[in-house]
Amino acid sequence: MKSIVVGTAGHIDHGKSALVLALTGTDPDRLKEEKARGITIDLGFAHQEIDGVHFAFVDVPGHERFVKNMLAGIGGIDLVVLVVAADESVKPQTREHFDICRLLQVPAGFVALTKSDLADADTLEVARLEIRELVAGSFLEGAPIVPVSARTGDGLDTFRATLVEVSRLTRGRAARSVVRLPIDRVFSMKGFGTVVTGTLVSGRIRVDDELVAAPGTRRIKVRGVQVHGRREAEATVGQRTAVNVAAVEVGDLGRGQALVTPHAFEETRLADAMVEVIAGARPLKHGARVRFHQGTAEILGRVALIGPFQDRAVPETAPGSRALVRLRLEAPAVLARGDRYILRAYSPPTTIAGGLILDPRPPRGAIRSHAALERAQALLFDPTLDDGVTAEERAAAIMIRDAGQAGLPVATLIQRAGVDPSALNSRIDALVAAGQAVRAGEVLVSPAVATRLKDAVVDALAAHHRTHPLSEGVPREELREQLFGHGHASVFERALADLAQAGTVAARERVALASHRVALSPEEDRARAAIERIYRDAGLKPPDPTSIAADAGVSPAVADRVMKLLLRQKVLVRVDELVFHDEALRRLKDDIAGMKGSGGTAARIDVATFKERFGVTRKFAIPLLEYLDRERVTRRIGDSRVVL
Ligand SMILES: Nc1nc2c(ncn2[C@@H]2O[C@H](COP(=O)(O)OP(=O)(O)OP(=O)(O)O)[C@@H](O)[C@H]2O)c(=O)[nH]1
Ligand SMILES: [Mg+2]
């Protein structure tokens, strides 16, 4: 069954709650104080099925002091009923609530001309005219205006029919998205424990799901789900939802938080946004302190205009116009690109503006520059005016560029660029195909970063080969530290893989240009031959490496370079303090291995027999036997060794 969340809106005492009661039989005013004062203070809820559509009503207070509560309820609605009393017509909170709905881009709505029993035909007509004027040019232009009386019941049938008709105009929402349930109520229910309610604005919640209450890190286990007062296995997007949460105290959760998919949203205190100042409001000054409302949260913060100042005066945004701003919040928020928000003045708290979040985690840094302004302009793209593809991709490309060497983790595109999780991979493929991104595992970098890195690798290797012609390359990790210390390791690996694929470098433990050959000068070549010969001839009784320069008759510097080369090439092998020719060690291993196989008993060798067999002193015998143990040719048992 189709499920629609309907919000009321309108001035105090205009009959919002009475209308909900007349339609549903449920009085949305549930607090004692509300009954005593005859006004709505906090949100009220009721539901009713009409013509096969399930309507969940969120009834809001009209009093100017409780607009804050109204804002907590209106966030996720599909449809608004703007309530105007026929005898009073348009009043201040009619305008304020209407402005809020317009700025939040509530998808659909119509007008209830209430208390029709108190007005004659002329009065009704005047109210109609004033309403038409109010909504001209807005989402409610041309919407039905339905006279209705909660007292006599006149007009209720037409009202119901209109509700069903207008609900057809609302679009379905994406259920395959991340879970986001802005909390509007938390209470304790006997026998159940803690229950939170809200309008599920994206995703679906199932029993046993693990969610997070954000801002914050508290994990929430879903013990039960109720939709429209009935136990269900799951709640889906667009439904008024009650979640029974396990092992959480009522005081640990509150309005303003949201239940969300773990890891999907990072908290933020900074956001870049488009702002639209209401026509009747005062100008919005750079640096103004404001009340920021999004979801069910109200957070204090300041507004800074993005872009260079034209003159010395503090810039401001005129009523009725738009600007690009950076919001600096005094407490963390849970925001995603594409979120709509409202700004109210700090004092007195009147609604002054609203807009669209463009980047919920912008890079810190100067915003009073042309570059910052251009960046924000490029991000400004009303997703609802577009098929979503180019807007998201353009935003993602900017964010990838901002991320620089560190790269942008793939998963953050959901929150920051507003990409639907189910479309994540195809969006990334499109970005890669369009030359806007390079993917390295779970990180995206701009093609410029990848190209610069590859160029830097080639330059660094060329320089290294020039200064160290005997070196076979730079150790991989050293190269990464040197060129890409702040970057993501997988980006560096991707660059090496690309260069290797292109045949430009050889990347193993050491990285070298593919064209590199170890080049020896004639002197080094002579030294190499001499040193190698000395070690080959010495067999298992090699000279001390510290005296090799003198033995070979070459300079210590040349001997040092050549020794390193031979060791790296594994022509020579270091065994503790000694160095042997690889051939000598091979022969030794073959010889020892050859000892076994004669007869059924295991061949054994000890230090004395080793010394005798190979004609070496203890100085060589001990390191060699330990070397054989390490090479798994022998195993030490007590004072002797078994040949394996
Ligand atoms: N004559 C008449 N009175 C009505 C009608 N609807 C509501 N009233 C009366 O108007 C008063 C205010 O009605 P509510 O429904 O509480 O008004 P509200 O818009 O919910 O007020 P707030 O929630 O405080 O903003 C009550 O005394 C109602 O009995 C109607 O259709 N006809
Ligand atoms: Mg009310």
| Residue 392: per-residue pLDDT | 80
Query: Which ligand number lies closest to the CA of residue 115?
Result: 1
For 608-637, what is each residue's pLDDT tens digit?
Answer: 999 999 999 999 999 999 999 999 999 999
Summary mean pLDDT of the chain: 92
Ligand 1 site-directed mutation target among 8, 17, 21, 24, most atoms within 8 Å of CB: 17
Query: Which ligand number lies closest to the CA of residue 30?
Result: 2
Coil/strand/helix, residue 594: coil
Query: Which ligand number lies closest to the CA of residue 62?
Result: 1
Shortest-distance Cα residue to atom 3 of ligand 1: 115
Handedness of CA 272, 277, 278, 284 (dihedral sign): positive
- Here the tokens at position 148 are 């209705």
71 CA to centre of ligand 2 in angstroms: 14
Tell me the residue type at 91: K
Quickly state the pLDDT bin for 471 (edges 50, 70, 90).
Answer: confident
Share of the chain above pLDDT 70, in %: 97
Shortest-distance Cα residue to atom 8 of ligand 1: 15
Shortest-distance Cα residue to atom 32 of ligand 1: 115
Which residue, among 103, 32, 76, has the nearest Cα to 184 in the 3D structure?
Answer: 76
| Residue 384: per-residue pLDDT | 54
Q: What is the DSSP string of 6-17?
A: EEEEESTTSSHH
* Rg of the chain (C-alpha set): 38
Q: What is the DSSP string of 525-592?
A: HHHHHHHHHHHHHHTTSPPPGGGHHHHHTS-HHHHHHHHHHHHHTTSEEEETTEEEEHHHHHHHHHHH
| Residue 600: per-residue pLDDT | 61
122 CA to centre of ligand 1 in angstroms: 21
Cα–chain-centroid distance for residue 167? 33
Q: Is the pLDDT of residue 176 over 80?
A: no
60 CA to centre of ligand 2 in angstroms: 6
| Residue 173: per-residue pLDDT | 72
Ligand 1 site-directed mutation target among 59, 87, 115, most atoms within 8 Å of CB: 115
Query: Which ligand number lies closest to the CA of residue 66?
Result: 1
Is 167 in contact with 55 (CB distance < 8 Å)? yes
| Residue 366: per-residue pLDDT | 87
For 250-281, what is each residue's pLDDT tens digit?
Answer: 889 999 999 999 988 989 999 999 999 999 89
Tell me the residue type at 472: E
List CB contacts of 405: < 8 A, sequence separation 6 or more: 445, 449, 453, 484, 486, 487, 488, 491
Query: Which ligand number lies closest to the CA of residue 63?
Result: 1
User: 49: which strand partners?
Assistant: 54
12 CA to centre of ligand 2 in angstroms: 7
User: 325: which strand partners?
Assistant: 273, 305
Quickly state the pLDDT bin for 197 (edges 50, 70, 90).
Answer: very high
Q: Is the pLDDT of residue 174 over 90?
A: no
Quickly state the pLDDT bin for 599 (edges 50, 70, 90).
Answer: low
Angle at 525 between CA 556 and CA 566, to 5 degrees: 70
Helix (H) or strand (E) segment spanning residue 606: strand 604-606
| Residue 597: per-residue pLDDT | 66
Which residue, among 186, 316, 310, has the nearest Cα to 252 in the 3D structure?
Answer: 186
Provide mean pLDDT across the span 430-446. Answer: 92
Ligand 1 site-directed mutation target among 8, 11, 12, 14, most atoms within 8 Å of CB: 14
242 CA to centre of ligand 1 in angstroms: 28
Query: Which ligand number lies closest to the CA of residue 44?
Result: 2
Alpha helices in 199-326 (DSSP H): none
Q: Which atom of ligand 1 is nearest to the CA of 63?
A: 25
The Cβ-side half-sphere exposure at 367, using a 13 Å CA radius, reads: 20
Ligand 1 neighbours, Cβ below 6 Å, are: 12-18, 38-40, 61-63, 114-115, 117-118, 149-151
Coil/strand/helix, residue 270: strand
| Residue 29: per-residue pLDDT | 96
For 34-64, what is each residue's pLDDT tens digit?
Answer: 999 999 999 999 999 999 999 999 999 999 9
109 CA to centre of ligand 1 in angstroms: 20
Which residue, among 178, 181, 189, 200, has the nearest Cα to 257 in the 3D structure?
Answer: 181
578 CA to centre of ligand 2 in angstroms: 92
Q: Which atom of ligand 1 is nearest to the CA of 11?
A: 25
| Residue 493: per-residue pLDDT | 93
Shortest-distance Cα residue to atom 12 of ligand 1: 13
Q: What is the DSSP string of 452-484?
A: HHHHHHHHHHHHHHHH-TT---EEHHHHHHHHH
For 555-590, what is each residue's pLDDT tens digit?
Answer: 999 999 899 888 988 889 999 999 999 999 999 998
Quickly state the pLDDT bin for 172 (edges 50, 70, 90).
Answer: confident
User: Which position has the higher pLDDT, 288 or 384?
Assistant: 288
425 CA to centre of ligand 2 in angstroms: 47
Q: Which atom of ligand 1 is nearest to the CA of 14?
A: 19
159 CA to centre of ligand 1 in angstroms: 17
For 371-399, what is each residue's pLDDT tens digit?
Answer: 999 999 888 865 555 555 567 888 899 99
| Residue 261: per-residue pLDDT | 93
Q: Which atom of ligand 1 is nearest to the CA of 150?
A: 31
Alpha helices in 245-289 (DSSP H): none
> Is the pTM higher than 0.85?
no
Quickly state the pLDDT bin for 27 (edges 50, 70, 90).
Answer: very high
Q: Which atom of ligand 1 is nearest to the CA of 39?
A: 24
| Residue 222: per-residue pLDDT | 96
| Residue 393: per-residue pLDDT | 83
| Residue 407: per-residue pLDDT | 92
Shortest-distance Cα residue to atom 23 of ligand 1: 40
Q: Which atom of ligand 1 is nearest to the CA of 38?
A: 16
171 CA to centre of ligand 1 in angstroms: 31
| Residue 434: per-residue pLDDT | 87
For 519-542, what is each residue's pLDDT tens digit?
Answer: 788 888 899 999 999 999 999 999
Shortest-distance Cα residue to atom 6 of ligand 1: 15
| Residue 248: per-residue pLDDT | 86
199 CA to centre of ligand 2 in angstroms: 19
